[in-house]
Chain A
């Protein structure tokens, strides 16, 4: 399919926006269903999918709102088609109930959230990282999703493919956290060669149809992820948001059934955190101060750390690529030599909370916040570093 995309484009090097890179990533990952409701700054994702889906035999539906969009994405995914939607804060809020449904019914889907200033309709064209906690905790009840935050247009493409792979592997919603800056930023992107791209598929049911149990486990790569029989494939299957047993039927008053199910929903992701948690670090070996960042903010943070190093300061940089699940042990280990951690984020303090919880109590953790739309300048972050010398 990648070859199809490259053939249709006529070239493999592009100068495109982050939003468009999410489209190409989805095409390469074999996404063939998109339902959405256009919203700045995510509209270009819908626009790109509207252009490409019909050409590749897929389906694009513009729905009446974001609730319907995520609901139809879940429905399409139940039939075995890789499915995606894209939105921004106001739409992401509307999607929360169905994100919980996808967690509970274990329906893979990818949700691109191109974050803008909130709350409410806020700043439509301005960047923010204000939905980081909402990505994990926006829907009610115990659950575990996966969220990834790219820093460049190329990485947006690469992580969109990864988002589909993780979603199929773990049967969870995966949220790609962009922001208005990276969504609208243009950079050079090189489409990967098909032979270098790993595209995961859901593990299909193989048992005889009359013995099929939709939520039996132990037959996929991860022992806690059920195999999948798409609607219409001849298997009798049942999907519900109610607490259910292995047959998929509601059992709503049994503590044992609820505990077994909900613990599995969390553990199927948490048990594999070592292979899901991506990060990048630089200059950590001798760093006394470490700047922690994710997404777009990592770019001025990287500049600031390089400037500080030039001035002889012992400063390092840790960039979170996987935001959720959060790897407490690994974070503590990576940051163990620093006396001060500076968390740079475009909000008034969100990831600073798990980071503070992760590091030892005698490590000082301070926030370098920024709201209003503009990304941090390197100098703003440098001032925080110099203030901690």
Chain B
């Protein structure tokens, strides 16, 4: 088993933290995992991506080439990374951040209004965790328990809010193609 997950958006959305949570969840479940990241020098804004390679074997090359799952949170990132998903791979995106989400190719597409759902829960900064809930629902790779453990370990403050965001992602994601 080997899977590559690419999470992309802009700085400040918690893109890297999302990758860390997925990586920790994979390790919790006994897999090997490598999480890498790419971002500009800005503290906020600028394009950001985080990649996680998960495998039951030793991982040599730490980067994701064609992603098994792409989680996308900005229009720019969608243009850049959506097509770099594997055939029959899964693309999860926030349609309100990505009005132009037309894409050709043999992909599964799942939508979730993560930023709006997060705002309704109290703050849009948990939109990344809503996306992770959607990921957990749409992809059977990692168990809900190991994801929840990883969230608890990574975000000790405002844990309830984040767990609610995770649940909302699980419940509200829609497969559109």
Contact check, B61 vs A188: say whether CB atoms are below 8 A apart.
Answer: no
- B62 and A299 within 8 A (CB): yes
Interface-lining segment among B37-45, B75-83, B98-106, B131-139: B37-45
- Taking a contact as CB atoms under 8 Å apart, the answer to whether A303 and B27 are in contact is no
User: In the complex, what residues of A have CB within 8 A of residue B6's CB?
Assistant: none
Is B168 an interface residue, CB under 8 A from the partner?
Answer: no
Measured CB to CB, the nearest residue on chain B to A305 is B60
Q: What residues of chain B lie closer than 8 Å to A284, measured between beta carbons?
A: none
Given contacts A15-B27, A124-B41, contact A186 B34 (CB under 8 A): yes
Interface presence of B126 (CB below 8 A):
no
Give the interface size class of chain B: 10 to 19
B22 to chain A, nearest CB (A): 10
Main secondary structure, interface of B, reads: mixed
Contacts of A192 in B (CB 8 A): none
Among B24, B33, B35, B60, the residue within 8 A (CB) of A299 is B60
Q: State how many residues of chain A have any CB contact under 8 Å with chain B.
A: 22
A15 touches B62 (CB 8 A): no
The smallest C-beta distance from B68 to any residue of chain A, in angstroms, reads 17
Q: Are A377 and B65 in contact (CB under 8 A)?
A: yes
Chain A residues closer than 8 Å to B40, beta-carbon distance? 125
Tell me which residues across on chain A come within 8 A of B63, comparing CB atoms: 374-375, 377
B14: interface (CB < 8 Å): no
Question: A186 to B41, Cβ gap below 8 A?
Answer: no
Q: Is A15 a contact partner of B41 (Cβ separation < 8 A)?
A: no
Q: State how many angstroms separate the Cβ of B51 from the closest Cβ of chain A.
A: 10
A185-197 vs B, CB cutoff 8 Å, 1 = contact: the mask equals: 1111000000000
- Pick from B23, B36, B37, B61: contact of A378, CB below 8 A: B61
Contact B20 A125 (CB under 8 A): no
Asked if residues A303 and B60 are in contact (CB atoms below 8 Å), the reply is yes
Q: Does A265 contact B (CB under 8 A)?
A: no
A224 at the interface (CB under 8 A from B): no
B32 at the interface (CB under 8 A from A): yes
- Are the C-beta atoms of B34 and A185 separated by less than 8 Å? yes
A-B contact pairs, 14 of them (CB 8 A): A15-B27, A15-B33, A184-B36, A185-B36, A185-B62, A186-B20, A186-B23, A186-B35, A186-B36, A187-B32, A302-B60, A373-B38, A374-B63, A377-B61
Name A residues whose Cβ lies closer than 8 Å to a Cβ of B: 13, 15, 40, 124-125, 181, 184-188, 296, 299-300, 302-303, 306, 373-375, 377-378
Kindly list the 6 A-B residue pairs having the minimum CB-CB distance in the complex, ordered from nearest.
A186-B35, A303-B60, A302-B60, A303-B61, A15-B24, A299-B60
